[in-house]
Chain A
Amino acid sequence: MAGLELLSDQGYRVDGRKAGELRKIRARMGVFAQADGSAYIEQGNTKALAVVYGPHEIRGSRSKMLHDRSVVNCQYSMATFSTGERKRRPHGDRKSSEMTLHLKQTFEAAILTQLYPRSQIDIYVQILQADGGNYCTCVNAATLAVIDAGIPMRDYVCASSAGFIEDTPLADLSYVEEAAGGPQLALALLPKSDQIALLEMNSRLHEDHLERVMDAASKACKDVYAVLDQVVREHLQELTTLLGDRTAA
């Protein structure tokens, strides 16, 4: 029988969202004390953990050292239990290497690396549960972790996917929507300046529609930004209260 109806005539998606709505985002910063920065984020059922170390001295081969800026070292992995079927290899497969590369490109564009010449910043991200938009969730988690580590960035990097179904752009695709195989793109944006840190597109999309899908994706990124900013502010509030308590004591 026909597959799922991804967008009903009444304008609702399979999970009940409207075209431009994001999944529910929940996030916490500073979840690991021993790391320099860390964050945990849930976007719907996609859950990711990001940990940041650095900036610190170059580890291993010194040949990769850069004299004018810091090296950004990323690693993307998926927990063996993150998908319905157990994954054999958590990282190192083609998909993960690609994701790793994408993350590296994204954060090299966002972190003010020139402030830390001859050093290294490590960003480790792991998908704990995968339900669509893995890359985007990782970017958002890493942004929070980098902020938690106190590493200066040009701006937040916010990412969201967008697809195109029934002549309508959809924001923040879930796994079901991704699996349908329609055109989709992932956008990482620096929301204040509207600069694109990374744009990746899967399958073909008609040129006529690109602008609309891009608009939907950047709107979604800005919505993500609003949530992340709120999380950061709340986290800061907590910290200052804690610090205030300590100084008072």
Chain B
Amino acid sequence: MLKSKTFMKKTRSGGILKIVREHYLRDDITCGCKGCDECQQERAILELEPILESSLCTTAHYLLPDTNVLLHQIDILEDPILKNVILLQTVLQEVRSRSAPVYKRIKDLLHNPDKCFYAFTNEHHRETYLEQEQGENANDRNDRAIRTATKWYNKHLKKSPKMADVQVILITNDRRNKEKAVEEGIVAYTCEEYIKSLTANPELVDRLACVNDEKNEVESGRLIFAEHLPLSKLQQGIKSGAYLQGTFRASRDNYLEATVWVHGDSAENKEIIVQGLRNLNRAMHEDIVAVQLLDKENWVTMSSVVLQDEGDSDDIESVEEKEKMLKTAVNSVKKPSGQVVGIIKRNWRPYCGMLSKSQIKESTRHLFTPAERRIPRIRIETRQASTLEGQRIIVAVDGWPRNSRYPNGHFVKSLGTAGDKETETEVLLLEHDVPHQPFSQAVLSFLPKMPWTITPEDMKNRIDLRHLYVCSVDPPGCTDIDDALHCRELENGTLEVGVHIADVSHFIRPGNALDQESSNRGTTVYLCDKRIDMVPELLSSNLCSLRSNVDRLAFSCIWEVDENANILNTKFTKSVINSKASLTYAEAQMRIDSPNMNDEITQSLRLLNKLAKILKKRRIDNGALTLSSPEVRFHMDSETHDPIDLQTKELKETNSMVEEFMLLANISVAQKIYDEFSEYALLRKHPSPPPANYDILVKAAKSKNLDIKTDSAKALADSLDKAESPGFPYMNTLLRILATRCMMQAVYFCSGMDNDFHHYGLASPIYTHFTSPIRRYADIIVHRLLAVAVGADSTYPDLTDKHKIADICKNINFRHKMAQYSQRASVAFHTQLFFKNRGIVNEEGFILFVRKNAIVVLIPKFGLEGTVFFEEKDKKKTNLVFNDEVPFLKVENTTFHMFDKVKVKISLDASNIQHQKIRMALVEPEIPGVTSHEDIATNTNGEPVPKKSKS
């Protein structure tokens, strides 16, 4: 049956367009119920006997939620208790156009067989399709469609004897829709009514989002905030210049201050200060907001006051007191200041944090303090406050009414006891936005079926290299082996070197769910005791891992070189290899060094090692930098998995051997894909730092009578090599650490969108990542480009779209940054655990930086960096003189320069459970009244006496 949909559309040029679209109605859309005799269906989803104990509905029932319930109560719908839900096409389409993240979560629910969620295509069903009536708006029409579908279901189920008792219940929070439904004889409840009726599962109530009616808001109580202007008004205002659009960035240290970074290129009013609760007007960190500039006489300066929100009531007066304090604080240059007049886009996410239990006994309303200091406290309702106290929990924000001091939210889930390793790991992953959920069914469905074998089809455009003596060299315990190597002498006396990289792009085909997921993850994240894979384990640790003695698909880069490592020719080909050995760096080193081993693998390794040394020398002669940063490994207790010892990573010759060939492969591939696709090549660049970045390094070296040249990478590398201080061997390492800090971040980019390709650190004119496709998505794209370039695979539209490649770069750059941050956070957490177990220790270290009121100290033994403050809240003022030129800091009569040796006391400060930190205090040189005199032996557990909890 055919229906035509006609509607009007405005075109870009302003004309009115009449659009006619066909709309087919069908008789073959099934109801999805297992017990239905009417529909011919292969795969019914809704259970025959849905059982969920509800005091409102004692018989078996299915739920049919409307759009707003889905949008606002998705957290509760995700609870495993709630099953057998019918989602109408009408509802799904509305959700899709209103919230992409919620839509994705619903799709995941529909894919999850345990949840029994069924999507009913009601808009194309002959009996449930409705036409919009004259004078009816789209919302009302959709509500009517939802009611019609509910009625249809109830009528339809009656026809099957097995289903005759099953009811379909409409869940809607819209009062009018619910009234109409009841009039039409439909059983309808609000989400709250229904969830509260589930007497067997009272904990669900906590997860209800509190959605306020705008009306309610105005009626009750005193208004604190000005109204947010509607979007249309904001857009007008932005166009006319009355308002400015920007990203709201809350201050980490002061909850009454924020800055708005104005979008666009105008140099004027780039950064606008917003001060005071009312001016902030309920904007939250990362929101896109519209601000109005204040009159010049009301402009303010950023105060340097630290203010943490500690109140727990709607007490506005005390806030106003504090605001006055900010104003009178300093008397320097005023900066553009403004007030938030409206929110263009909220950027709320679920927040990790802890509950601050209400002082009032029996109260169900509590404040939640997010771990991120930039986020205000959130008011939630829960009956489990006593259980949740001391746990890390997740809370989602529902809204921020005008009469409320704090935003309202609801409890989503608990991550576990604060301070636990699992809990804290989860927190740091969430806070760094690292996707770490198990891979969904949809993603896993694109994995090869096991047992997997190489088929003749796989061998197309691929050469057989299984006869070669290929081996891999990795750190111990490595299960995701990306790369393997070989080297052999050819008959003409030249050498053949092969770098073989896991052929991940053979398994991950463009555009499917597996590809999308890996693209989104962007990188594998390595924490101290956990790895979050970019691709499912079957690929990362098995099919793509180039393990020994199994046939594996690879992408090989094969050079012919002379004995001086000059490249005579380069070949790229897809291949199949059979690695003969998976070695650790130490094992490979041992083979090279033991004179009585002469098997093919060892010979191959010796040749590789020899060539690598030549390559490395050449690279360094060209001005490549070798910088060091102290990398720390934890020795874990095998039982408790607690760190028991720290060790800085030791580098063997073989580390550098593997690295050399990976660099060579990356450079060769970069050149090849750029030659082939000058517009779409995904490359990696490392911009040279602006000269001013080196100031601190040059000054610091000068203070130790050393000369560092920074005119070019080569000059820097050479002068770093020469910078030795007699009797102070660690000096050179310190300088290199400092030089690393002066560097820019290396980034991925699309060759068609940029013209500076230079890689400063490697002194290479072009570079990319090819060698780790199991753990980096950039490499997968590079593999695809290279495969097209050598005719081993076909292309697809997105691969040759420079904007799409640029989008990918943007995401992976973000993910890499976040991966680094979370790694650091993980190291920091494990360091804390270590010192918690170790107690207070005194250790020697070096001053890395001097600040106005502190010195930053590096402890080489632990690779640990910490700050020693000389001004503390409750202590008497210390006499400090800071000189930025040398630089030095004089504390009383002692002067500190960079690189000075000091002795510090290290302890764990656990006074704030959400923000535990390592505390350092000066022990040597001794400064009366400043250095710590506490007897270490008396307090060895490193923790303050636990506070008595108010139970």
Question: In whole angstroms, what is the CA distance A49 to B188 when docked?
Answer: 53
A12–B124 touching, CB < 8 Å: yes
Q: Which of A174, A182, A206 contacts B22 (CB 8 A)?
A: A174
Binds B, one of A2-10, A91-99, A112-120, A155-163: A2-10
Given contacts A24-B2, A208-B509, contact A15 B22 (CB under 8 A): yes
* Inter-chain contact A16/B119, CB cutoff 8 Å: no
Query: Taking the complex as formed, is A201 at the interface, i.e. its CB lies under 8 A from any CB of chain B?
Result: no
What is the CB-to-nearest-CB distance from B216 to chain A, in angstroms, rounded to a whole number? 29
- 1/0 contact trace for B22-39 toward A, CB 8 Å? 111110000000000000
Find A84's partner among B17, B23, B794 (CB 8 Å cutoff).
B17
Closest A residue to B511 by CB, please name it: A167
For A1, A24, A84, A208, which residue has the most chain B Cβ atoms within 10 angstroms?
A84
A165 to chain B, nearest CB (A): 10
Other-chain residue from A9, A14, A85, A203 in contact with B110 (beta carbon distance below 8 A)? A9
Distance in Å from the Cβ of A131 to the closest Cβ of chain B?
A: 8
B231 to chain A, nearest CB (A): 14
Known: A2-B96, A2-B97. A85 touches B510 (CB 8 A): no
A17 within 8 A of B: yes
Query: Does B533 have its Cβ within 8 Å of any Cβ on chain A?
Result: no
Chain B: number of interface residues, binned into ranges: 35 or more
Residues 506 to 532 of chain B near chain A (Cβ within 8 Å)? 509-512
Q: Let me know if B794 and A208 touch, CB within 8 A.
A: yes
Q: How far is the CB of A56 from chain B (nearest CB, A)?
A: 38
* Cβ distance B132 to chain A, nearest Cβ, rounded Å: 17
Query: For B9, B25, B119, which residue has the most chain A Cβ atoms within 10 angstroms?
Result: B119
Residues of the B chain whose Cβ atoms lie less than 8 Å from the Cβ of A2: 96-97, 100
Query: Do the beta carbons of A204 and B119 come within 8 Å of each other?
Result: no
Q: B1-31 vs A: 1/0 string, CB under 8 Å?
A: 0101000010100010111111111100000
**B440: shortest Cβ distance to chain A, in Å?**
13
Query: In the complex the two chains form, what is the Cα distance from A15 to B89 in whole Å?
Result: 13
In the bound complex, what is the Cα–Cα distance between A14 and B22 (angstroms)? 9
Residue B123 CB within 8 A of the other chain: yes
CA distance A205 to B510 in the complex (A): 11
Q: Which residues of B contact A8 (CB under 8 A)?
A: 89, 92, 119, 121
Partner of B20 from the list A16, A23, A45, A85 (CB cut-off 8 Å) is A45
Q: Is A176 an interface residue (CB 8 A)?
A: yes
Instruction: State the Cβ distance, B20 to closest chain A Cβ, in Å.
Output: 6
Shortest distance from the beta carbon of B58 to any chain A beta carbon, whole Å = 32
Q: Are A15 and B24 in contact (CB under 8 A)?
A: yes
Q: Cβ of B797 and Cβ of A12 under 8 Å apart?
A: no
Q: Are B21 and A10 in contact (CB under 8 A)?
A: no
Nearest Cβ on chain B to A211's Cβ, whole angstroms? 12
Cα separation A91 to B495 with both chains bound (whole Å): 65
B821 at the interface (CB under 8 A from A): no
B796 lies within 8 A of chain A by Cβ = yes
**Chain A contacts for B2, CB-based, 8 A:** 24
Whole-angstrom distance between the alpha carbons of A167 and B97 in the complex? Answer: 23
Shortest distance from the beta carbon of A16 to any chain B beta carbon, whole Å: 4
A16-B24 contact in complex given A2-B97, A8-B121, A9-B110, C-beta closer than 8 Å: yes
CB-based contact B97/A206 at 8 Å: no
B98 contacts across to A, CB distance below 8 A: 1
Residues from chain B with Cβ under 8 Å of A207 in the complex:
794
* A90 interface residue per 8 A CB criterion: no
> Is there contact, CB below 8 Å, between B18 and A84?
yes
Q: Which residues of A contact B566 (CB under 8 A)?
A: none
B residues near A9, Cβ cutoff 8 Å: 107, 110, 119
Q: Is A183's beta carbon under 8 Å from chain B? A: yes
- Taken together as a complex, chains A and B put the C-alpha atoms of A205 and B9 apart, in Å, by 31
CB of B600 to closest CB in A, whole Å: 38
CB under 8 Å from chain B, chain A span 161-188: 167, 174, 176, 182-183
Query: How near does chain B come to A136, taking the closest CB pair, in angstroms?
Result: 16
How many angstroms from the CA of A145 to the CA of B532 in the assembled complex?
64
| Chain B: minimal CB distance from A11 (Å) | 9
Q: Is B648 an interface residue (CB 8 A)?
A: no
Q: Which residues of chain A from 191 to 229 have a CB within 8 Å of any chain B CB?
A: 203-208
| Alpha-carbon gap, A21 to B110, bound state (A) | 25
Question: Cβ of B123 and Cβ of A16 under 8 Å apart?
Answer: yes
B17: chain A residues at CB < 8 Å are: 84-85
Given the known inter-chain contacts A9-B110, A9-B119, A85-B11, please indicate yes or no for A206 contacting B18, CB distance below 8 A.
no
Query: Which residues of chain A have C-beta atoms less than 8 A from B647's C-beta?
Result: none
Instruction: Assess whether A10 is in contact with B797, with CB atoms less than 8 Å apart.
Output: no
Interface residue? B795 (CB, 8 A): yes
Question: Known: A9-B107, A10-B121, A208-B794. Contact between A15 and B96, CB under 8 A?
Answer: no
Q: Nearest A residue to B26 by beta-carbon distance?
A: A16
Task: Check: B800 CB closer than 8 A to any chain A CB.
Answer: yes
Chain B residue with the shortest CB-CB distance to A12 = B121
Residues of A within 8 A of B18 (CB): 84
Assess the A17–B797 pair: CB atoms within 8 A: no
B22 touches A167 (CB 8 A): no
A95 → chain B closest CB, angstroms: 19
B797 with A183: CB separation less than 8 A: yes
Q: Which residues in window 609-662 of B have CB below 8 A to A?
A: none
Given known A5-B96, A9-B107, A85-B17, contact A17–B24 (CB-CB < 8 A): yes
Contact with B along A21-33 (1 / 0, CB 8 A): 0011000000000
Q: Counting CB contacts under 8 A, is A44 at the interface?
A: yes
- Report whether A176 and B509 are in contact in the complex, using a CB–CB cutoff of 8 Å: no
Of the candidates B11, B22, B92, B93, the one whose C-beta lies within 8 Å of that of A23 is B22
Query: Does A167 lie within 8 Å of B512, measured CB to CB?
Result: yes
Report A-chain residues with C-beta under 8 Å of the C-beta of B97: 1-2
A204 touches B800 (CB 8 A): yes
Closest chain A residue to B119, Cβ basis: A10
Across the two chains, which residue of chain B brings its CB closest to A210? B794
How far in angstroms is the closest Cβ of chain B from A175? Answer: 8
List chain B residues, Cβ under 8 A from A12. 121, 124
Q: Which residues of chain A have C-beta atoms less than 8 A from B123's C-beta?
A: 16
For B25, list chain A residues within 8 Å (CB): 16
CA distance A71 to B866 in the complex (A): 88
Cα–Cα distance between A204 and B801 once the two chains are bound (Å): 11
Q: Chain A residue with minimal CB distance to B797?
A: A204
Q: Is the CB of A16 within 8 A of B124?
A: yes
| A2–B95 CA distance with the chains assembled, in angstroms | 11
Q: How far is the CA of A147 from the CA of B509 in the complex (A)?
A: 46
User: Of all chain B residues, which has the CB nearest A86?
Assistant: B15
Closest to B118 in A: A10
A182 to chain B, nearest CB (A): 8
Within 8 A of A (CB), among B119-174: 119, 121, 123-124
B24/A204 in contact, CB under 8 A: no
CA distance A182 to B796 in the complex (A): 10
Q: Which of B15, B22, B24 contacts A85 (CB 8 A)?
A: B15
Q: Give Cα A176–Cα B107 distance, bound, in whole angstroms.
A: 23
Cα A1 to Cα B94 with chains together (Å) = 11
Among A1, A5, A15, A203, point to the contact of B21 (Cβ < 8 A).
A15
Q: How far is the CA of A12 from the CA of B30 in the complex (A)?
A: 13
Q: Which residues of the other chain, A, contact B19 by a CB distance below 8 angstroms?
A: 84
Q: Which residues of B sit under 8 angstroms from A10, Cβ to Cβ?
A: 89, 119, 121
List A residues 47-100 near B (Cβ within 8 Å). Answer: 84-85
A206 engages B107 (CB within 8 Å): no
Residues from chain A with Cβ under 8 Å of B93 in the complex: 5
12 A-B pairs in the complex with CB atoms less than 8 angstroms apart? A10-B121, A15-B22, A16-B24, A16-B25, A45-B4, A85-B11, A183-B797, A204-B795, A204-B797, A205-B796, A206-B510, A206-B794
Chain A residues packing against B (C-beta within 8 Å):
1-2, 5, 8-10, 12, 14-17, 23-24, 44-45, 84-85, 131, 167, 174, 176, 182-183, 203-208
Residues on B lying within 8 angstroms of A by beta carbon are 2, 4, 9, 11, 15, 17-26, 89, 92-93, 96-98, 100, 107, 110, 119, 121, 123-124, 509-512, 794-797, 800
With A16-B25, A44-B22, A174-B22 known, 7 other A-B pairs at CB within 8 A are A1-B97, A8-B121, A131-B20, A176-B21, A183-B797, A204-B797, A206-B795
Nearest 8 A-B pairs (CB), nearest first?
A16-B124, A16-B24, A207-B794, A84-B17, A15-B22, A204-B797, A206-B796, A1-B97
